[in-house]
Amino acid sequence: MGSKREKPCTVIAVPSGWTATLDGYRWARDTVGESGGAVYRLHGKAGAPDLYLKHGHGSVASDIHSETARLRWLADYLPVPHVVQAERMPHEAWLLMTAMPGLTAYQVMQGHPELRTVVVDALALFLQRLHAIPVERCPFQSSHAQRLALARARIDAGLVDEDDFDEEREGWTAEQVWGAMQELLPLTPDTVVTHGDYSLDNLFIQDGEVVGCIDTGRVGIADRYQDLAIMWNCLGEFGAPLQERFMQRYGIAHIDEAKLTFHLLLDELF
């Protein structure tokens, strides 16, 4: 991660038995997208790879525990960070994992405009690989019905950041987003194994290929548009032709506008 995304910090308390692994590292805390938890990059240890540590309390601890389970399962199918250590206490959790090689897809798209079509094609191919995993092998559910229930709970608890809505919903309330989603129901799901947050920041590119994905806490069986919509939204920053190319390379000849809109609305509430 670049310096704009992190700041040096002191060592935090970790479970007993982790000290030998972590001795000798310099610590930096990620300042972007922590969602109530904390993410640290451990670097600078001679002869040792960079590591990432996620730490959180309460509901964030539950999320970290869920991500740990999904990382271990997904590792049989796709390149993901290796879980070095993980521990869950009643109200606290830690996840220590290896860093991914390469740059994020966003970093490549932003810094190397000449590679944008290459990246888009690679992202579509990688998503095909993910969605080809047999659903009967996936122990995790992430259906839109389940996520709607979670979204409703977040609205009721006042946890939705309405100031962070996409430009086309600027000034909306969470209740307006909720109402707009209800108008698009029911949806007939086309279920696959989904990432859940298939964004440019969560995919890593090296030599024109996707070499890994991170932030797997939402992995589970859901409609394929859960992933397609988020990537579509990310690519909007780089123009409609790349959005269309992504869909075509993935294999979508005719976009289901209702599903696309529904999943974009749903993502606003998380």
Residues belonging to the active site: 197
List Cβ neighbours of 28 (8 Å cut-off, separation of 6 or more). 1, 6, 7, 8, 9, 40, 41, 43
Burial of residue 148 (CB within 10 Å: 0-12, 13-18, 19+) is middle
Neighbours of 167 (CB within 10 A): 6
- One-letter identity of residue 66: S
HSE-CB at 123 with a 13 A cutoff on CA atoms is: 33
| Residue 205 phi, psi dihedral angles, 5° rounding | -115, 135
Pairing of strands 26-30, 51-57: unpaired
Directed axis angle between helix 174-182 and helix 144-156, to 10°?
150
**Bond before 186 cis per omega within 30 degrees:** yes
Longest dimension (CA), the chain: 57
Closest CA to 248 of 235, 237, 259: 235
DSSP string, 201-250: GGEEEETTEEEEE---TT-EEEETHHHHHHHHHHHGGG-HHHHHHHHHHH
